[in-house]
């Protein structure tokens, strides 16, 4: 696995910086920032707009709402959310790039923007063509089965059962070309020798329904998105795709526990402003969004979504590092997978 | 008995609190208004209200959304009937016959049928929901996977090919055109861009709402404008003559059939009321002895569509409450309301918050009943909009349709799509193609392509896999029989006639 070796270098910093379980709860990352900041030349003198490249009901829509409310609570400046879903975030990003760089329009986006740039460098680079204000959610993935499943009960028995199915076992995920899910599944299947058919569901409800109804054998997802199924005992995780399991999932084997040696990929969501925005405005927006991250309402939201199990916060520089490392990591993987990297 | 007692308990909680009553009626009126005004929808209202629900109790917040859902689905029927502008995609089939009824001076009958059938469909599905939420939800997700949903879509398309077109070929070509439009954008499995000609905005695909507005509202304005210019225009007669109970009783089979279809579509996660309305309408056409009169102002078309889409509302709450699986955009927003109150819809809701569940059930039941009362009052008022002369009404409709198209995703391309569809619709209608078929192909095509790809992955790319899934197989066979019957009807029957004539 040469791929693994090349990834270790680029991803080690990410892994080390990310795995600081519990710190967000004890003392919030931006507690040190001043409680107020003077508006530069009166900016903003009207409401801000936030372009969200996904629908209002999904993970992005919800985090955009939580952050917008926290910023408004803190600054008394309203934020109008403008959802432009479609094309896996392409439409919203394209629309955003056409807005003036005056600081009045901010963007919410997820790691898809980084993987899209990794595959096609003509797509905007979130670390260079945009200025990250804050990364407010970083999470890991897990593999889930039905709690009442009787064909397998944990990771070893699952692997054994999948191998016996000769490629006919199925797992639900969002398996778009080059997606975090597909790349991670490639790591897992390469390392275990499993053959498993990935079934792509772009919406959460049919994806979770497919596992609950026994249409598929397993599910690849992030814990915050299936929390209700975990709390109700319908699903149970059998593998945490992290080097070391966080405390909340101490009884679920991690990659190290099951002998899988690859650097995990993360799902992350953050807020951006266009490069070229006047510096004083950027500073005010950085303060507002980073400080809002520690607002009680936002922290409560993150906690409800299992987003405090690993450190979710990155400031501008931290976000740039995260994005840059992620792009490098994806690019290496894509080349290894034989995808055309432009 | 326990169910009845719980229902009474929910009703007492709902109406025993003045704030609850206020929110209930606010939701009823708000849902109807936002559903009825083109350019906004019940989703707009829900999005506006979502942050405020944090300040309400969980019971009030979730009840409010449930009520908006029931009345909002009905509200869109009014503009579909009066102006050929469906308030929401699930009201599109209502326009197929509702608008010709308006042109024919029978707007009151159409609106009355929509009011009564929405109330009947919604109320009955609500009662079923109260009795059987948990077992039905479990059955639906076990029995219906992607292969079954694809087979259902295939069956729907097979039936739809005969709706509204002059000939067999034009019917199928209309459906195929819709399917072709549906493949623009990212493919649903690999995320590969198709037919977007390097235009990033087209990567999101052609949205069906601007397409519906173009094909229905804009093309209709062109048609009427042409009539006005040539002196053939005749203003629709104002009518508040609602259908009698006896008239509706004649269509009891259509109502029952649509309740079953609507309920069935509603419980499938991610499917919802739109497929329900189209399937309800299609089946009405298929079982009718007088198929050719559909699309020309047949009240049964309105009845079937409106019963089915409201029947889907109660059913959509089943996977949401029992499993935490939203059926559509509004039920997905309801998840947000639950979360604002530190709750998650799903099996635990029945254990942890049974009172809340029964307040919601009671509220939905009474919201559907209130459609009858408030709906009639609203309809009596709103049909008067037909008094507005065409030269003032047409620009207003165009403006509203434009706003509505833009509001869907905030993209100018959707407005362009609407006008292109309007022009295309104008010419297609003149030449006997079915714009309904195109819209149906577009809506079902998106669902069908995705579920077909998923089904193939699940069946390991072997078509024979369908043989092991009885429901999917049954629906596919029904679809093929329908196609066979329409081929026979279009060619061989005609040959017989020609031979006998010879």
How high is the pLDDT of residue A19?
Answer: 41
Out of A178, A213, A228, the one facing B346 most closely (by C-beta) is A228
Q: Using CA atoms, how far apart are residues B20 and A83, in angstroms rounded to an integer?
A: 31
- Within 10 angstroms of residue B386's Cβ, the number of other Cβ atoms is 17
Alpha helical stretches, state H, B267-389: 273-287, 299-323, 329-340, 347-352, 354-382
Confidence of residue A288 (pLDDT cuts 50, 70, 90): very high
How high is the pLDDT of residue B207?
Answer: 84
Sheet holding A48-52, edge to edge: A79-83, A48-52, A105-110, A267-274, A130-139
CB–CB contact B344 A176 (8 Å): no
How high is the pLDDT of residue B348?
Answer: 64
Q: Indicate if the alpha-carbon torsion angle B8, B11, B16, B17 is positive or negative.
A: positive
Answer for the pair B108, B240: CB distance below 8 angstroms, yes or no: yes
Structure-token pair, residue A199: 């079934």
Q: What is the pLDDT of residues B261-284, one digit of tens each?
A: 998 888 776 566 777 888 888 888
How high is the pLDDT of residue B502?
Answer: 37
What is this structure's pTM?
Answer: 0.77
Q: What is the pLDDT of residues B388-408, one digit of tens each?
A: 788 888 888 888 888 878 877
DSSP sequence for B403-457: HHHHHHHS-HHHHHHHHHHHHHHHHHHHTT--HHHHHHHHHHHHHHHHHHHHHHH
Q: Using CA atoms, how far apart are residues B467 and A122, in angstroms rounded to an integer?
A: 46
Structure-token pair, residue B306: 């409106």
Answer for the pair B37, B382: CB distance below 8 angstroms, yes or no: no
Report how many helices (DSSP H) and strands (DSSP E) chain A contains, helices first: 12, 10
Task: Tell me how far apart the 2 most distant CA atoms of chain A are, in Å.
Answer: 68
Q: Using CA atoms, how far apart are residues A103 and A133, in angstroms rounded to an integer?
A: 11
Q: What is the pLDDT of residues A69-79, one digit of tens each?
A: 999 999 999 99
Answer for the pair B178, B449: CB distance below 8 angstroms, yes or no: no
Q: Using CA atoms, how far apart are residues B426 and B219, in angstroms rounded to an integer?
A: 5
CB–CB contact A86 B205 (8 Å): yes
Structure-token pair, residue B420: 């292109």
CB–CB contact B185 A87 (8 Å): yes
Please enumerate, as own/partner, the contacts of B495-500 that have beta carbons within 8 Å and a separation of 24 or more: none
Q: Average pLDDT, stretch A244-256?
A: 92
Alpha helical stretches, state H, B215-272: 219-230, 245-249, 252-266
How high is the pLDDT of residue B493?
Answer: 66
How high is the pLDDT of residue A135?
Answer: 93
Answer for the pair A229, A145: CB distance below 8 angstroms, yes or no: no
Q: Average pLDDT, stretch A7-14?
A: 38
Collapsing DSSP to helix, strand or coil, A224 comes out as: helix
Alpha helical stretches, state H, B84-188: 92-103, 107-143, 146-160, 168-182
Q: What is the pLDDT of residues A197-244, one digit of tens each?
A: 999 887 777 888 889 889 999 999 999 888 888 888 889 999 999 999
> Of all helices (H) and strands (E), which one includes residue A116?
helix A112-119
> Of all helices (H) and strands (E), which one includes residue A158?
helix A155-164
How high is the pLDDT of residue A9?
Answer: 37
How high is the pLDDT of residue A91?
Answer: 80
Asked if A182 reaches chain B (Cβ–Cβ under 8 Å), the answer is no
Higher pLDDT among residues A337 and A43, named by residue = A43
Q: Using CA atoms, how far apart are residues A328 and A3, in angstroms rounded to an integer?
A: 12
Nearest residue on chain B to A203, alpha-carbon basis: B270
Low-confidence ranges of chain B (pLDDT < 50): 496-502
Q: Average pLDDT, stretch A296-301?
A: 89
How high is the pLDDT of residue B164?
Answer: 58
Answer for the pair B276, B79: CB distance below 8 angstroms, yes or no: no
Q: Using CA atoms, how far apart are residues B453 and B463, in angstroms rounded to an integer?
A: 12
Domains defined for chain A, CATH in brackets: 2-139+266-337 (3.40.190.150), 142-249 (3.40.190.10)
Q: Average pLDDT, stretch A304-315?
A: 87
CB–CB contact A215 B145 (8 Å): yes
ipTM for the complex shown: 0.77
How high is the pLDDT of residue B488?
Answer: 83
Query: Please, which residues bridge with residue A198 across strands?
Result: A171
Helix %, strand %, coil % of chain A (to 5): 45, 15, 40
Confidence of residue A4 (pLDDT cuts 50, 70, 90): very low
CB–CB contact A213 B144 (8 Å): yes
Q: What is the pLDDT of residues A101-141, one digit of tens each?
A: 899 999 999 888 888 899 888 888 999 999 999 999 999 99
Q: Average pLDDT, stretch A159-176?
A: 90
How high is the pLDDT of residue A3?
Answer: 40
Residue A296: pLDDT above 60?
A: yes
- Give the strand pairing for A218-221 and A48-52: unpaired
CB–CB contact B204 A91 (8 Å): yes
How high is the pLDDT of residue B165?
Answer: 63
Q: B110 CA to chain A: closest CA distance, Å?
A: 34
- The closest of A144, A231, A205, A303 to B351, measured between CA atoms, is A231
Q: What is the pLDDT of residues B194-243, one digit of tens each?
A: 888 877 778 778 888 788 888 888 888 888 888 888 887 777 766 667 77
Cis bond leading into A44, ω under 30°?
yes
Q: B340 CA to chain A: closest CA distance, Å?
A: 9
């Amino acid at each position: 696995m040469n791929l693994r070796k090349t990834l270790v270098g680029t991803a080690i910093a990410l892994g080390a910086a990310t795995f600081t379980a519990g710190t967000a709860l004890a003392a919030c990352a931006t507690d040190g920032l001043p409680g107020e900041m003077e508006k530069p030349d009166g900016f903003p003198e009207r409401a801000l707009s936030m372009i969200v490249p996904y629908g209002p009901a999904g993970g992005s829509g919800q985090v955009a709402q939580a952050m917008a409310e926290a910023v408004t609570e803190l600054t008394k400046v309203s934020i109008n959310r403008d959802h432009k879903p479609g094309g896996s975030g392409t439409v919203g990003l394209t629309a955003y790039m056409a807005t003036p760089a005056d600081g009045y329009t901010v963007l919410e986006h997820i790691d898809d923007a980084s993987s899209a740039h990794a595959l096609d460098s003509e797509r905007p680079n979130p670390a260079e063509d945009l200025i990250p204000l804050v990364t407010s959610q970083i999470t890991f993935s897990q593999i889930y089965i039905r709690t009442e499943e009787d064909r397998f009960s944990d990771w070893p028995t699952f692997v054994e059962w999948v191998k016996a199915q000769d490629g006919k076992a199925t797992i639900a995920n969002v398996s778009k070309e080059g997606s975090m899910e597909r790349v991670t599944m490639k790591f897992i299947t390469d390392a275990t020798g499993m053959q498993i058919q990935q079934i792509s569901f772009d919406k959460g409800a049919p994806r979770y329904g497919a596992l609950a109804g026994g249409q598929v054998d397993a599910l690849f997802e992030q814990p915050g998105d299936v929390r209700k199924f975990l709390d109700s005992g319908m699903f149970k995780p059998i593998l945490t795709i992290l080097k070391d399991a966080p405390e909340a999932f101490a009884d679920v084997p991690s990659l190290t526990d099951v002998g899988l040696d690859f650097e995990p990929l993360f799902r992350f969501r953050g807020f951006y402003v266009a490069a070229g925005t006047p510096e004083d405005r950027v500073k005010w927006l950085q303060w507002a969004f980073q400080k809002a991250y520690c607002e009680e309402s936002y922290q409560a939201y993150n906690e409800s979504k299992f987003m405090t199990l690993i450190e979710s916060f990155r400031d501008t520089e931290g976000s740039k590092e995260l994005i840059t490392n992620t792009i490098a990591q994806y690019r290496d993987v894509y080349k290894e997978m034989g995808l055309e990297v432009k | 008995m326990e169910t009845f007692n719980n229902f009474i308990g929910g009703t007492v909680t709902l109406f025993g609190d003045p704030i609850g009553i206020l929110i209930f009626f606010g939701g009823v009126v708000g849902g109807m208004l936002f559903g009825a005004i083109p350019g906004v929808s019940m989703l707009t209202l829900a999005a506006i209200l979502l942050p405020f629900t944090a300040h309400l109790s969980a019971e009030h917040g979730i009840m409010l959304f449930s009520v908006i859902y029931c009345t909002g689905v009905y509200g869109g029927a009014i503009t579909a009937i009066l102006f050929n502008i469906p308030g929401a995609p699930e009201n599109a089939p209502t326009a197929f016959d509702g608008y010709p009824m308006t042109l024919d001076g029978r707007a009151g009958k159409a609106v009355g049928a929509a009011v009564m059938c929405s109330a009947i469909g919604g109320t009955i599905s609500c009662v079923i929901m109260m009795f059987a939420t948990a077992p039905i939800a479990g059955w639906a997700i076990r029995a219906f996977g992607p292969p079954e949903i694809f087979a259902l879509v295939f069956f729907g398309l097979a039936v739809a090919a005969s709706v509204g077109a002059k000939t067999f070929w034009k019917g199928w070509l209309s459906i195929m055109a819709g399917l072709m439009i549906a493949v623009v954008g990212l493919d649903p499995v690999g995320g590969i861009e198709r037919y977007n000609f390097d235009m990033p905005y087209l990567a999101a695909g052609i949205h069906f709402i601007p397409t519906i507005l173009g094909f229905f509202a804009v093309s209709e304005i062109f048609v009427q404008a042409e009539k006005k210019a040539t002196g053939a225009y005749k203003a629709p007669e104002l009518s508040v003559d609602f259908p009698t109970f006896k008239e509706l009783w004649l269509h009891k089979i259509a109502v029952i059939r649509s309740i079953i279809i609507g309920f069935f579509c509603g419980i499938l996660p991610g499917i919802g009321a739109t497929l329900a309305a189209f399937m309800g309408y299609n089946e009405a056409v298929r079982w009718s002895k007088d198929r050719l009169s559909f699309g020309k102002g047949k009240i049964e078309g309105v009845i079937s569509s409106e019963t089915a889409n409201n029947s889907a509302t109660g059913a959509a709450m089943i996977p949401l409450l029992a499993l935490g699986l939203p059926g559509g955009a509004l039920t997905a927003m309801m998840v947000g309301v639950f979360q604002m109150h530190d709750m998650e819809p799903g099996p635990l809701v029945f254990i942890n918050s049974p009172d809340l569940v029964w307040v919601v059930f009671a509220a939905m039941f009474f919201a559907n009943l209130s459609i009858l009362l408030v709906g009639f009052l609203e309809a009596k008022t709103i049909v008067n909009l037909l008094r507005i002369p065409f030269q003032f009404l047409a620009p207003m409709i165009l403006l509203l349709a434009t706003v509505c198209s833009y509001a869907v995703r905030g993209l100018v391309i959707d407005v362009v799509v609407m006008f292109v569809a309007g022009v295309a619709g104008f010419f297609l209608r003149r030449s006997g193609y079915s714009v309904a078929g195109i819209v149906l192909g577009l809506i079902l095509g998106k669902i069908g392509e995705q579920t077909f790809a998923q089904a193939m992955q699940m069946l390991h790319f072997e078509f024979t896999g369908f043989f092991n899934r009885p429901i999917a197989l049954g629906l596919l066979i029904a679809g093929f029989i329908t196609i066979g019957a329409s081929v026979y009807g279009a060619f061989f029957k005609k040959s017989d006639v020609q031979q006998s004539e010879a």
